[in-house]
Amino acid sequence: MAVIDLWKSFSGKEVLRGVNLTVAPGESLVIVGGSGAGKSVLLKHLIGLVQPDRGHVIVDGEDLACAEPERCLAIRRKFGMSFQEGALFDSMNVFDNIAFPLRRHTRMSEEEIAERVRECLSLVHLSGIEKKMPSELSGGMRRRVGFARAIALKPEILLFDEPNTGLDPITAAAIDRVIIEMRDKLPVTMVTITHDMNSAFRIADRIAMLRGGKIVAVAPPEEFRKLPDPYVQSFLAGQPVEEEVA
């Protein structure tokens, strides 16, 4: 997947100002940046939920930004998205939450769906909780059910939006282990946005920093740690800075 010279403004405010980024097949790329840097806006472009003012998002050789609406939907099916805090349907039990995309987008029988739900729950170490309601689950479990739903359709690319927000450090580390396991066990490419540098170092093959509407640094974790850029260093020291977008 590649992002080429992506620009986006909202009401005259430039949020993305020429983002360039490539993600290799099977790689786990983590995008970090201060509050308001445009991480969510960038993530929405990757999945075609937002159209750029200028630039391209290339997925398997196709330009998502130029694709016809039907083609855009087909390309979007290649993605699995894990939203902040799991974003489960509160009125459905765990089984129906994970079965939802399978019932909607495939012709699988209920038996096949049950088998796939079992497989997905097993991958996130939550076997046997099909009948539970989201309200009965802890924050970490809800995230993992969200992951199970995101992988149900066997996506090529998994997007994680702040997978650790609001979790205690131990639960956050457990979530990261599940993400790493998914990367190792599934033929999947991963893009995660986060503020959490501890998490970024655990789950990334490469870390990209978004600042001022551009990617200002991309490096594997160990190299990223040593980058001399003062902004990167203040970020690493746990002092995320408010972005000023004009």
Ligand X SMILES: Nc1ncnc2c1ncn2[C@@H]1O[C@H](COP(=O)(O)OP(=O)(O)OP(=O)(O)O)[C@@H](O)[C@H]1O
Q: Is 17 in the site for ligand X (CB under 6 A)?
A: no
Query: Is 9 a binder of ligand X (CB under 6 A)?
Result: no
Question: By CB under 6 A, how many residues form the interface with ligand X?
Answer: 12
| Residue 10 or 89 with smaller CB distance to ligand X | 10
Does 182 bind ligand X (CB under 6 A)? Our answer is no
Distance of closest approach, residue 40 Cβ to ligand X, in angstroms: 3
Rule CB under 6 A: choose which of 15, 150, 178, 208 binds ligand X.
Answer: 15
In the range 20-59, which residues lie near ligand X by CB under 6 A? 33, 35-41
Min separation Cβ 187 and ligand X, Å: 28
Residue 165 as a binder of ligand X (CB under 6 A): the answer is no
- C-alpha 46/C-alpha 110 separation (Å) is 32
The total of other beta-carbon atoms located within 10 Å of residue 14's CB is 16
Judged by beta carbon, residue 33 or residue 212, the one nearer ligand X is 33
> Binding of ligand X at residue 89 (CB under 6 A)?
no
Q: Which is nearer to ligand X, 26 or 165 (CB)?
A: 165
DSSP codes of every residue in the chain: -EEEEEEEEETTEEEEEEEEEE--TT-EEEEE--TTSSHHHHHHHHTTSS--SEEEEEETTEETTTS-HHHHHHHHTTEEEE-GGG---TTS-HHHHHHHHHHHH----HHHHHHHHHHHHHHTT-TT-TT--GGGS-HHHHHHHHHHHHHTT--SEEEEESTTTT--HHHHHHHHHHHHHHHHHSS-EEEEEES-HHHHHHH-SEEEEEETTEEEEEE-HHHHHT---HHHHHHHTT--------
Cβ at position 83, least distance to ligand X in Å: 12
Q: Can you tell me which of 149, 183, 195, 211 binds ligand X, judged by CB under 6 A?
A: 195
Q: Closest CB to ligand X among 17 and 118?
A: 17
Under rule CB under 6 A, residue 214 binds ligand X: no
In the complex, what is the shortest distance from the CB of residue 201 to ligand X, in angstroms, rounded to a whole number?
A: 18
Pick 111 or 237: Cβ nearer ligand X: 237
CA distance 232 to 209: 8
Contact residues for ligand X (CB under 6 A)?
Answer: 10, 15, 33, 35-41, 195, 245
